[in-house]
């Protein structure tokens, strides 16, 4: 299986050497060469997609840090779900505007100076704090390659690029526990097979105490909020920077988490101005930093 996957991924090698940020590539329906629907598109047959899905799932379960395999899994298994998400966006005025304008999120499209100048507690300022505290960058999102529809390719790219916004809204860090909580929220929201897989199998890496907290407190909270909140892909985050984080959470129906999952110091979920609880998990339940099944690919 690994050999088949390596052979199927051979076309990725020349693309991976490109230094061009993914967000600098527009998603538009135009000719990009033989059978290519967008710049990084790799056309594949149903059989190739099945092999890619099976191989990438096995590799992702074996090594959750293989973000490239998780990306392939998401693209080769989520076609039907992406159509549902696309249709939800088309029915919503804000979502339809996003599909029309195709905004991208990267360091080249973000005005970091403006975000830094925003008031404490604003969504933009808290998002910038999240990136700084957790030492993550929006430029780590790899381009979509195996989705054979340019509009659906944008939908899954948009999902990847707003993932850090969901962390900010939910007040979750990028450690294992925080990522799993976000994955449960995303699984309920999107129904993407990749998210469901991450939500179900991510907890195997947790300690016994963290697993107990996750099952008894955090998963029910994430599921409830995922069901109550409108589709998070319909939110034009770039136009909400100045809105207070607490007001945006109230608009979306996102409530205070039952526990504060600590990450690095000064994480927004433990800041008084963020409108979230200051009481942390009990000692011994804070897992080391990692990114399990996070779409940082």
> Any binding-site annotation on 279?
no
> Any binding-site annotation on 32?
no
> Any binding-site annotation on 179?
yes
Residue closest to 259 by CA, chosen among 231, 223, 217:
217
Q: Residue 265: which pLDDT band, with cuts at 50, 70 and 90?
A: very low
Q: How many angstroms separate the CA atoms of 84 and 157, rounded?
A: 15
Q: How many angstroms separate the CA atoms of 110 and 141, rounded?
A: 14
Q: Kindly write down the DSSP assignment for every residue of 172-231, as one continuous string.
A: --SBHHHHHHHHHHHHHHH--HHHHHHHHHGGGGS-HHHHHHIIIIIHHHHHHHHHHSPP
Per-residue pLDDT of 147-176, as tens digits, reads 999 999 999 999 999 999 999 999 999 888
**pLDDT given at position 64:** 65
Q: What is the mean pLDDT of the chain?
A: 81
**pLDDT given at position 61:** 73
Q: Which of 72-86, 226-240, 258-272: highest mean pLDDT?
A: 226-240
Mean pLDDT, range 224-237, rounded to an integer: 97
Q: Note the pTM of the prediction, 2 decimals.
A: 0.79
pLDDT at 181 > cutoff 70: yes
**pLDDT given at position 148:** 93
**Weakest-pLDDT range from 27-41, 142-156, 198-212:** 27-41
Per-residue pLDDT of 104-153, as tens digits, reads 999 999 999 999 999 999 999 999 999 999 999 998 887 899 999 999 99
If you compute the radius of gyration of the chain from its CA atoms, what whole number of angstroms results?
19
Per-residue pLDDT of 64-92, as tens digits, reads 667 778 888 888 888 999 999 999 999 99
């Amino acid at each position: 299986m690994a050999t088949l996957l390596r052979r199927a991924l051979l076309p990725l090698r020349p693309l991976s050497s490109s230094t061009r940020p993914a967000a600098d590539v527009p998603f538009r329906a135009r000719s990009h060469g033989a059978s290519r629907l967008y710049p990084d598109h790799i056309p594949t047959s149903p059989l190739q997609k099945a092999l890619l899905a099976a191989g990438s799932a096995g590799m992702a379960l074996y090594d959750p840090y293989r973000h490239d395999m998780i990306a392939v899994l998401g693209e080769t298994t989520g076609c039907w779900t992406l159509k549902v998400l696309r249709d939800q966006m088309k029915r919503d005025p804000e979502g339809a505007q996003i599909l029309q304008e195709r905004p991208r999120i990267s360091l080249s499209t973000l005005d970091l100076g403006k975000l830094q100048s925003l008031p404490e507690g604003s969504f933009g300022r808290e998002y910038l704090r999240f990136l700084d505290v957790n030492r993550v960058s929006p430029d780590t999102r790899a381009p979509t390659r195996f989705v054979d529809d340019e509009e659906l390719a944008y939908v899954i790219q948009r999902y990847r690029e707003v993932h850090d916004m969901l962390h900010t809204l939910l007040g979750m860090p990028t450690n294992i526990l925080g990522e799993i909580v976000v994955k449960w929220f995303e699984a309920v929201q999107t129904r993407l097979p990749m998210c469901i897989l991450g939500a179900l199998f991510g907890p195997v890496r947790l300690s016994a105490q963290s697993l107990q907290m996750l099952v008894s407190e955090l998963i029910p909270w994430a599921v409830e909020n995922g069901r109550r909140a409108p589709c998070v892909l319909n939110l034009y985050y770039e136009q909400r920077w100045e809105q207070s984080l607490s007001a945006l959470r109230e608009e979306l129906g996102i409530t205070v988490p039952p526990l504060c999952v600590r990450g690095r110091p000064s994480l927004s979920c433990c800041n008084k101005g963020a409108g979230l609880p200051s009481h942390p998990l009990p000692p011994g339940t804070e897992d080391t930093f990692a990114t399990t099944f996070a779409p940082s690919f």
